[in-house]
Chains A and B, each alone.
Chain A
């Protein structure tokens, strides 16, 4: 087997058998949420990690997807899986339209625009009481049903989420490992040079936004049907901070980095529950320290360490080159 991919398969295997060893419902709940975060950070990673444009509005698509899927299921009786897919397509359209405006900007202007859009969407949802039930949120959202099987328990939700997360990571990995992914990186590294070899910023930033929007929409649907409840709380700024932490500390511009970040930062808040008031200051400290100690995130550090181990055990083996380094 390819040594480079071995850790990914090990991680996958651990994820697959995890429920056999974990008896705590609460722990499983965190694991389910981690799956949602993986879907969310993968999409953001395309735009922010690979193209290098910081979006502070990504969780908006989580909210939009969650609302769309929930409303389709509650008001129109659409089967949940179909509702989730339609919600994904809805967020694709939304991210396309928002992208048409925001991708005229770069850098800090782009950041401000995305923040503004997130806030606009939150306010619109909060004030469209007739449809969205306003700040009260939507309740009693039905669970997904797959081949007659109701996905309601923690364990079945976990496996459902795992499948969605693995598909998301796989598709993002395949996109990044192609001319599309190279175009992303080219735009991040040197936009004028990227243009001169035929790469358009407008086109590829839109591709990243639309793909990311799709997965965020699916993640939103997954979240809404899992918790049976959605409100505009998911579009608040603290969610933005959380997914950015996952992305930056995990290692933006790598595929596995945000996955690790998502897993770690799904559990960190729980570990800090005893000192809840200090949670945000501690987040800040963690961010500062990790950015100073490992500016490219956890992934390149782990990747190098793993490369050394492989090299020691089998000097002839091809060591894993840290992708995106």
Chain B
């Protein structure tokens, strides 16, 4: 890539998904600036998660294009998309439950390690150096998200909120340019939600662009730079949190009485 337009780190054009006769997502287009936090909201069944999964490659798009730093993602498999620098979390908590927190983190260095099998068989310098770097990075990121005390705990034994944090930590360990968060606050208590908001802010300060799907309106309104509203698979509004909370169409479709309170 000779030239990267920082205003279009992620370019989504005409993205659509049909499940048989049902148009789950219709012709969605938007851009993401570098270092922006964009929230995708909408009532249940609006097509948020479908959009999210098409970008992450876990659902095949019916048509449209998604480019990350100019590179087309549609048609790529999830593991290839990860290699393009796009990391994601899952709606239903996904960590390697049978492994320790630290082992979870080291696995996530996978795409950055270049040592071959021969390197590790011969215990080469490259292999040893990469292993050391992976361990150091694992520790650094665990400190960053506040899980350093838990490094040796089996991740299946972590509290739910900590598992959500570990999930974000795993995504960060892949050193992404962009992070997709699928309902990161789901199931968190208010206190945990506040620290999650701080964490997402910190992640952005590291130069990582964030796209999130979220139901928690407080979190969305507080941390997003821009909000995109979907309803019945179509984009009905786009704007800053203030603009969105004033938008009559959005209020009607989604926020309803909640905003008038």
**Residues in chain A within 8 A of chain B (CB atoms):** 171, 174-175, 177-180, 182-183, 185-186, 189-190, 192-200, 207
Contact = CB atoms under 8 A, between A and B. Distances in A.
Contact of B120 (A175, A197, A199): A175
B106 interface: yes
B120 A189 contact: no
B170 A197 contact: yes
Interface string B69-99: 0000000011110110001101000111111
A141 B127 CA distance: 42
B110 A177 contact: no
Contact of A192 (B58, B111, B119, B127): B58
A305 B91 CA distance: 40
B98 A192 contact: no
Contacts of B87: 196-197
Most buried by A among B87, B88, B110, B171: B110
A183 B131 CA distance: 14
Contacts of A197: 82, 87, 107-108, 110-111, 170-171, 173-174
Nearest to A192: B94
A175 B117 contact: yes
A182 B127 contact: no
A171 B121 contact: yes
B123 interface: yes
A193 B110 CA distance: 12
B38 interface: no
B96 A193 contact: yes
B107 A182 contact: yes
Nearest to B152: A321
Contacts of A180: 117, 120
A178 B106 CA distance: 10
B102 to A, nearest CB: 11
A183 B94 contact: no
A198 B94 contact: no
Given A175-B117, A186-B107, A192 B123 contact: no
A171 B119 CA distance: 11
Interface string B108-139: 11110101010111010001001100000000
Given A197-B110, A200-B79, A179 B95 contact: no
A182 B78 contact: no
B96 A174 contact: no
Given A195-B78, A196-B56, A198-B79, A178 B117 contact: yes
B174 A198 contact: yes
Contacts of B117: 174-175, 178, 180, 207
14 contacts: A174-B117, A175-B117, A177-B120, A178-B117, A178-B127, A182-B110, A192-B90, A192-B94, A196-B56, A196-B78, A196-B87, A196-B88, A197-B107, A198-B110
A308 to B, nearest CB: 18
Nearest to B56: A196
Nearest to A177: B120
B210 to A, nearest CB: 16
A129 B110 CA distance: 48
Given A186-B110, A194-B79, A195-B82, 16 more contacts: A177-B120, A178-B131, A179-B130, A180-B120, A182-B103, A182-B110, A185-B99, A185-B103, A192-B78, A193-B170, A194-B107, A196-B56, A196-B78, A196-B87, A197-B174, A200-B77
A174 B82 contact: no
A176 to B, nearest CB: 9
Given A189-B96, A192-B58, A183 B78 contact: no
A133 to B, nearest CB: 37
B94 A190 contact: yes
A186 B113 CA distance: 15
Contacts of B113: 179
